Amino acid sequence: MSDISISFPPWVIAWFLLGEATPVITLVMIALAAAFLVSRGRFRRIGWLKWTLAIVGGLWLGGISFWAAGFVDEIKTGIYQARHNYKLDKATVLAGIMIPGGSRVSLDEAGVLYRIETAPDAAVSIDGALWRDVISLIPLDNRADSDRGIIKSATLAIDTVIQGMPCQGGAPVEFSESGGDIEHCTLTQRTDVPAEIVGDQGGKIAKDLPCSADQEVWLRPSDRRLLERCVLAETAAVGAIACAGGKEILFAGAGLDSCTLASAQRVGASELSAGTLIRFTRGDLSEFEMPPSSASVALSGIELPPGTVVSLCERDIAWLEVPEDRSVTIAGVKLTGRLNFDCGKFQYGTLFEDSVVHDRRLLRGAAISAEDLLHPP
């Protein structure tokens, strides 16, 4: 739930309510005006009617002013859009860029170009490549003469090598806002990309990893362009971990963040099957997802069935997500679904089948806690 709130001064709320009530106030004022005109020739003392009409008229003017202010704001917005966001009738040079006619351009408050939406089948040449569709430029305040380019994000018109990366035309490309270094594109061919891993001596080293063609690659902005995420073209060893080809590999600041095991191997305290998705936190195994056809895994005295997702607290279980058609056994009772633990100590879960627990008959799907299992009533 969001804790964001917006508050307005009381006079703004009152003004808004007057604006909303304007149609009703208008009807009341018409009725009073009619009554005043009718009564003027019949009664001498109609002061109260004059005062009522004056009060209602004041309220009506307040409501009308609300709508008038909105109308003026719409006019100002329209003028701003006409000056800062418009369609070009013919080819025009803006900020040194030749933009074809039919394209839409957006300028900031200072009149600096920051966005181009090209006309259909048109392309714009920027930073030595052709771009189309929506082209977002790096804000002028964030640019430096040493930057590699001025584009923040755009779609390549044709296959192009961008800063050494063979990027696919028709796919989006993204750059860092500081420095203009490439951060993301879709590769046209198998490409070796350096990744930062932990070496045998504990220090960080760079190792080239093969990323697949026709797949997206994400790079970490740094002095050296390093891999953040891609789909491996073939099995690759990252330290002692053999990561499977055809699966995504992800790196974070501490090194390998996640990959899928290419073969059965021991990771942390567990013997895991090939096809297991593993995740690390600060270099330690923090979560793994067993494939549906894997062998079971014993952990914290519990036999984990295939398809189970395991989150770890150090080397003990933090929580399990067991497939609905499979179960784990705790204190002689079969449980399934989400099971929570306190670093290896069971807290609560859900029954896999109708069960009798300490002479209490409970139905499948019933929630059950450690108190229910381990401490009879």
Which amino acid, residue 194?
A: P
pLDDT score of 143: 84
The tokens describing 67, both together, are 């709508």
In this prediction, residues 64-80 reach a mean pLDDT of: 70
Query: Confidence class of residue 86 from pLDDT cuts 50, 70 and 90?
Result: confident
Res 333: pLDDT: 93
Question: Quick one: pLDDT band at residue 269, thresholds 50, 70, 90?
Answer: confident
What per-residue confidence (pLDDT) applies to 195? 93
Q: What letter does residue 282 receive in the DSSP assignment?
A: T
Q: Counting beta carbons within 10 angstroms of the beta carbon of residue 230, is it exposed (0 to 12), middle (13 to 18) or buried (19 or more)?
A: buried
Residue 282's pLDDT is: 83
Q: Which residues are CB-contacts of 141 (< 8 A; sequence separation ≥ 6)?
A: none
Q: What is the rounded CA–CA span in Å between residue 314 and residue 371?
A: 24
Instruction: Tell me how far apart the alpha carbons of residues 289 and 306 are, in angstroms, rounded to a whole number.
Output: 9
pLDDT for residue 2 is more than 50: no
More confident call, 82 vs 173: 173
pTM of the full structure = 0.75
Closest to 222 measured CA to CA, from 200, 206, 203, 199: 206
- Confidence at residue 376, expressed as pLDDT on a 0 to 100 scale: 62
Whether 24 shows a pLDDT value over 80: the answer reads no
Question: What mean pLDDT do residues 78-96 have?
Answer: 80
The tens digit of pLDDT for each residue in 325-344 reads 999 999 899 999 999 999 88
Sequential DSSP letters for 77-89: HHHHHHHHEEE-S
The span from the CA of 273 to the CA of 262, in Å, is 9
Average pLDDT value for residue range 14-28: 74
The overall average pLDDT reported for the chain is 86
Q: Give the model's confidence band at 77: pLDDT under 50 very low, under 70 low, under 90 confident, else very high.
A: low
Q: Is the pLDDT of residue 1 over 50?
A: no
Q: Check pLDDT > 50 for residue 79.
A: yes
Based on its alpha-carbon atoms, the radius of gyration of the chain, rounded to whole angstroms, reads 34
Give pLDDT, residue 203: 75
Residue type, 42: R
| pLDDT tens digits for range 179-232 | 889 999 999 999 999 998 877 666 788 899 999 999 999 998 766 789 999 999
Q: Residue 60: in which H helix or E strand, if any?
A: helix 47-84
Residue 54 pLDDT greater than 80, yes or no: no
Tokens of 219: 């790079």
pLDDT recorded at residue 22:
77
Sign of CA dihedral 315, 321, 323, 325: positive
Give the pLDDT band (50/70/90) at residue 117. very high
- Residue 357's pLDDT band (boundaries 50, 70, 90)? confident
**pLDDT score recorded for residue 198:** 79
Considering the chain, what percentage of its residues have pLDDT values greater than 70? 86
Residues whose CB is less than 8 angstroms from the CB of residue 371 and which lie 6 or more positions away in sequence, other chains included: none
